[in-house]
Amino acid sequence: MNPDALRLFALSESRALGESIGASLGLPLSAHEERDFEDGEHKTRPLENVRGCEVFVIQSLYSEPGKSVNDKLCRLLFFIGALKDASARSVTAVLPYLGYARKDRKTKARDPVTTRYVAQLLEAVGTDRVVTLDVHNLAAFQNAFRCPTDHLEAKNLFVEHFAARVLDLEMVVVSPDIGGVKRAEQFREALSLRLNRPTGSAFMEKQRSAGIVSGEALVGDVKGKAAIIIDDMISTGGTISRTALACRKQGAQSVHAAAAHGIFVGKADQVVADPALDSLVVTNTLPPFRLDSELVRNRLTVLDAAPLFADAIRCIHNGGSIVDLLGEE
């Protein structure tokens, strides 16, 4: 890796994760300025020369007190534009959590397709590549962008976590809905390979309309087993909660859940504290700042995704293979 031709920036809300990625790369974060004006406008600019450099910008797109996802997206767009105007050779947007990825198709008349709109905004300011982790709908993400994209997965992080902790029970991997079956199946295959023994599968019936979730049937055998629920994100936690309860009713001996992104809005504290759930695992694509209860924090494990992003940046910079990094064919 040639550090002289590489610049790594992390906008303020993602600085902690950016510093971890930089530490994994052996590369310090480059300096930049973020300034707010009295009327709510802002500017962001690099404070180092980026002419001819390959630049990576880290920004997780989630809302938090004082800054909405819209604020963060706007700051990211302006910063990428400033980098391109400063003659950066290429700019890769590293988006550990990609906001607006859930509305990826029209389900009602005249619905927006915000995944595609965000892609168009990023491309309009000159983004050359996008890297993200476990998007809600991979096909929609890949089809929304015209620039190259790299999709990373937390699957192997979860495999190592559970392989070291749930060894004495037969395991079954549970998808909380039909749409997540492929994600769950990929995790099940990787876990079975890691443990060198078969792992069962199950999925939960789920319908959603106007924000209301229904469906209670659990398909698959979980009785006497350790059930591992796999999803891409936990928002209010309702999907995980109803799946955990269904597993318990069907006789699961223990129930665990894993999701790449812990958003934790609404009454998520209550969901995580639910006795139907033994443990919950997320990554640090965004901090679990909405969880306050000590009981909740004791049940929650946050895995570090920084080395995975660092390896991806290294692969891109050196012309390596992301496929090899993820262990896929």
Q: Give the CB-side neighbour count of residue 104, counting CA atoms within 13 A.
A: 15
146-159: pLDDT as tens digits: 999 999 999 999 99
Q: How far is CA 40 from CA 37, 66, 70, 121, 197, in A?
A: 6, 11, 13, 21, 57
Question: 155 catalytic, yes or no?
Answer: no
Q: Give the CB-side neighbour count of residue 312, counting CA atoms within 13 A.
A: 26
Closest CA to 141 of 159, 154, 122, 125: 122
| Unique residue bearing structure tokens 């958003």 | 263
Q: Which amino acid is it at 316?
A: I
- What is the structure's pLDDT at 313? 97
Residue 231 has pLDDT above 90, yes or no: yes
108-146: pLDDT as tens digits: 888 889 999 999 999 999 999 999 999 988 889 999 999
233-248: pLDDT as tens digits: 999 888 899 899 999 9
| Active-site residue identified among 72, 155, 206, 225 | 206
Rounded CA gap, 57 and 92, in Å? 6
- Residue 93 has phi, psi (to 5 degrees) of -85, 115
Instruction: Summarize the confidence of residues 282-311 as an average pLDDT.
Output: 88
Give the H or E element holding residue 246. Answer: helix 238-249
Rounded CA gap, 243 and 257, in Å? 10
Residue 208 has pLDDT above 60, yes or no: no
44-68: pLDDT as tens digits: 999 999 999 999 999 999 999 889 9
Instruction: Summarize the confidence of residues 185-208 as an average pLDDT.
Output: 88
Total number of residues shown for the chain: 329
Q: How far is CA 289 from CA 18, 64, 239, 262, in A?
A: 17, 9, 20, 10
Considering the entire predicted model, what is its pTM? 0.93
> What is the crossing angle of helices 306-318 and 15-25, to 10°?
60
**Three-class secondary structure assignment of 33-96:** EEEECCCCCEEEEECCCCECCEEEEECCCCCECCECHHHHHHHHHHHHHHHHHCCECEEEEEEC
